[in-house]
């Protein structure tokens, strides 16, 4: 694969409603030193024809089965050679300067590992005026180890004007430094940058935690604007889609099993336990089928333990910025 400074990794699954606008926004980028790799995870709609039509300049990999978000992006990262990896969802449209601004932020320091722009929530990609609400400015972490999207649901007037540091980034439209990913990758038979046991959902949360644990920083460049169709919006603990509920809850449990060291339990254990008890009670009443995933998560506990960070102490304190982030003024 030809070497560029940025490799754009776009994983597609039944993306027919989104692909035309998404691919057009990629081709319209001011930053041109990139290569585009598209992985189609065995779509059964018209995605493959749209990829052939609008992704003619891309390297395309057609899978015979859905191998999941993590495994598909890992394949692209391992097969490429670039300074930066841009992870993009099919249901996003980017402003022309999105990648250029993100690259500029990461180039300001070697310990800057990831950056996202300001994503605005929209109902469909044919209407980029949006509903005036922020989708995400990055990820923040509560004392309960619940991860939230910064600014979600707030008016776009609250979007800051300058880059600011965040706990992590959502892998919706995010740029990562390859060297940082390599530093925190799991090594089994081959490198895992996104944990492939997560398949889909929360894999970006786990990666954000590992990067933070490794001493790297993550950023939001709010002047890089993107538009995202939020089809899996949460209500309190769960989402409306049972399949998503199950995947998301299982991966949340795996995230805790994998990353919760004794020093962290000593500091935050009470908050975490009380929150998890409340969540189980809620699910037992409103989404009992989701609790079936407790057993499948438990079966992976030893594997998660083997992937736990090597050092016993968590050297980099967690920052809690879910309610306070820079104002537009």
Structure tokens at 316: 């980099």
Structure tokens at 271: 């908050």
6-233 classified as CATH 3.40.50.300 = no
Per-chain mean pLDDT for the chain: 87
Q: Which residues of the chain form CATH 3.90.550.10?
A: 6-233
Cross-strand pairs, 59: 37
The beta strands (E) that lie in the chain are given as: 6-12, 34-40, 59-62, 84-88, 92-94, 112-122, 134-136, 139-141, 147-149, 164-166, 173-177, 186-187, 191-192, 217-229, 234-235, 238-239
The rounded distance, in Å, linking the Cα atoms of 22 and 108 is 28
Between the CA atoms of 44, 231, 150 and 172, what dihedral angle is there, to the nearest 10 degrees? 20
Q: pLDDT band for 122, please (50, 70, 90 cuts).
A: confident
Q: Report the pLDDT value the prediction gives residue 321, as an integer from 0 to 100.
A: 63
**42 secondary structure, DSSP code:** -
Per the model's pLDDT, the better-predicted residue between 314 and 258 turns out to be 258
Counting residues of the chain whose pLDDT is more than 90, the rounded percentage is: 58
Q: Report the pLDDT value the prediction gives residue 283, as an integer from 0 to 100.
A: 86
Is the pLDDT score of 236 beyond 60? no
Q: Report the pLDDT value the prediction gives residue 324, as an integer from 0 to 100.
A: 66
Counting residues of the chain whose pLDDT is more than 70, the rounded percentage is: 87
pTM of this prediction exceeds 0.85? yes
Choose among 153, 180, 182: nearest CA to 169.
Answer: 180
Is the pLDDT score of 204 beyond 90? yes
Residues 7-29, mean pLDDT to the nearest whole number: 94
3-state secondary structure of 79: helix
């Amino acid at each position: 694969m030809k070497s560029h400074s940025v490799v754009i990794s776009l994983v597609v699954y039944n993306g027919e409603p989104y692909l035309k606008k998404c691919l057009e926004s990629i081709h319209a980028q001011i930053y041109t030193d990139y290569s585009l790799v598209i992985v189609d995870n065995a779509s059964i709609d018209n995605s493959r024809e749209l990829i052939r039509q609008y992704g003619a300049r891309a390297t395309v990999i057609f899978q015979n089965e859905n191998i999941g978000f993590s495994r598909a992006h890992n394949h692209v990262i391992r097969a490429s050679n670039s300074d930066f990896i841009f992870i993009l969802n099919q249901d996003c449209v980017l402003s022309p300067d999105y990648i250029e601004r993100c690259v500029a932020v990461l180039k300001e320091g070697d310990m800057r590992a990831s950056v996202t722009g300001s994503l605005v929530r929209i109902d469909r990609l044919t209407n980029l005026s949006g509903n005036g609400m922020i989708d995400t400015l990055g990820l923040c972490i509560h004392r309960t180890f619940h991860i939230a999207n910064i600014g979600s649901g707030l008016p776009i007037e609250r979007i800051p004007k300058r880059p600011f540091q965040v706990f992590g980034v959502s892998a919706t439209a995010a740029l990562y430094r390859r060297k940082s990913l390599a530093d925190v990758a799991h090594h089994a038979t081959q490198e895992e940058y996104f944990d492939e046991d997560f398949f889909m959902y929360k894999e970006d949360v786990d990666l954000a935690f590992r990067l933070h644990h490794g001493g790297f920083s993550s950023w939001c460049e709010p002047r890089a604007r993107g538009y995202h169709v939020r089809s899996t919006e949460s209500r309190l603990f769960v989402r409306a889609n049972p399949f998503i509920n199950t995947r998301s809850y299982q991966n949340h449990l795996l995230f805790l099993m994998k990353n919760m060291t004794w020093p962290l339990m000593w500091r935050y254990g009470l908050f975490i336990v009380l929150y998890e008890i409340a969540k189980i009670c809620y699910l037992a009443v409103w989404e009992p089928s989701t609790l079936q995933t407790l057993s499948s998560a438990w079966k992976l506990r030893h594997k998660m333990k083997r992937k736990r960070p090597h050092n016993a102490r968590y050297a980099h304190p967690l920052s809690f910025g879910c309610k306070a982030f820079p104002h537009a003024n």
